[in-house]
Amino acid sequence: MRKIHFIFSLVLVLCVVKSNLHAQNDWNLISSLPQNLVITSDEVSYKFENNVTGPHHVECLVKKSDNYCQSYETVFEWFDNTYSPSIREMFFIDSEIGFFSWGMEYLGVKKTIDGGDSFELVGFSPTYASRMCSFDGELLFHTDGWVYNTYKMSYFKINGNVVYSTGRYIWGTKTMSSSEKPVAELEFISNSIGFVTCIDSLGFAYILKTIDTGYNWIETAVVQNQRFSDIKFIVDSIGLVIGKEGMVLRTNDCGETWNEISLGTDMILTSLDMNENGFGVIVGYGGTVFLTNDYGETWEADDFFSSSINFRYAKVTQSNTLFVHTTEGDLYCNHHILNNTDVD
């Protein structure tokens, strides 16, 4: 039986579905795209490609679409034949302001404030794996770290400068592989308040919170035999965290306490998103899709997809359009999720 140790309190919430969300018959397969995709609005999305064109020769591309992911134009390209760099991660606040990182042992970060028309280099820093985010584009937050045998070290950086380091938590990868996904997820709701989900070497998963721009962190939840996969705050107080075995945690007091929400599934959950209207989605393996329109208090399963499908990414736009992206690269869109009904 899973043990959950919350620093403050735990409430198990059984999800009684009261909403009336109609999605099952309105999904459309719109394109097949690689995994490195970020959707910022109904029309605009970005993706990156790392194309090996020869020994130690990599072509790194950032591409943009403004026609519902139908076609893409290159907005940034870089070639190198001295070693093998690659674009590692991409993060956009909106359709205009975004960042991407690339490199091997040294991470370079470029920023755009004009929707990809131009990019500027905003710094380098040694890294093995990282997560990055920004609240308003002025401060870039990112985690990185690495593990070698029994030695581990994790870092939190602001604009490339280390402001916090720890050997207790794993924020990078569990090995030194540059292709491994970082175990940490990062979310800031202001330039001072932020959250990191991470693990330790004993198999515990943590939610950490800072209220001083990342100079100090406190544990607000600890879960045994778990690994969180995504975190999202909708407004300053309401946030959600998902993980394996169908785990969903929700807070309505800015992360001071976390309540477990039961979805009735034991599938691995991989991605969540929610807009300011309270409409949200959780996706995972086995064709798992859950929908909400009350800020995550109640959830409804969408059974349209086959159990052979695994999802890696979900996006809800401000106009309530929903995108879900599979591990095989298929991108589905639904413009008619809401049926103009309210939660009782």
- How many other CB atoms sit within 10 Å of the CB of residue 28? 10
> In this structure, what token pair is assigned to residue 89?
């991660």
pTM, entire model:
0.88
Q: How confident is the model at residue 36 (pLDDT cuts 50, 70, 90)?
A: confident
Determine contact, residues 271/313, Cβ cutoff 8 Å.
Answer: yes
pLDDT (tens digit, 9 = 90+) per residue, 198-255? 998 888 999 999 999 999 999 999 999 899 999 999 988 999 999 999 999 999 999 9
151-201 residue pLDDT tens? 778 999 998 889 999 999 988 765 544 455 668 899 999 999 999 999 988
Residue 31 has pLDDT above 50, yes or no: yes
Quote the CA–CA distance of 234 and 221 in Å, as a whole number: 19
Cβ pair 221, 7 in contact under 8 A: yes
* Lookup result for tokens 């990282």: 130
Q: How confident is the model at residue 5 (pLDDT cuts 50, 70, 90)?
A: low
User: Do 291 and 273 contact (CB within 8 A), yes or no?
Assistant: no
The 10s digit of each residue's pLDDT in 125-134 is 655 557 889 9
Sign of CA dihedral 30, 31, 32, 35: negative
How much helix, strand and coil, in percent to the nearest 5, is found in the chain? Answer: 0, 50, 50
CA distance linking residue 10 with residue 271, whole number of Å: 23
Contacts of 72 (CB under 8 A, 6+ apart): 47, 63, 64, 65
Which pair of structure tokens corresponds to residue 201?
């070497």
Could you give the CA distance from residue 142 to residue 131 in angstroms, rounded to a whole number?
5
41-76 in b/e form (b: 16+ CB < 10 A) is bbebbbbbbbeeeeeeebebbbbbbbebbeebeebb
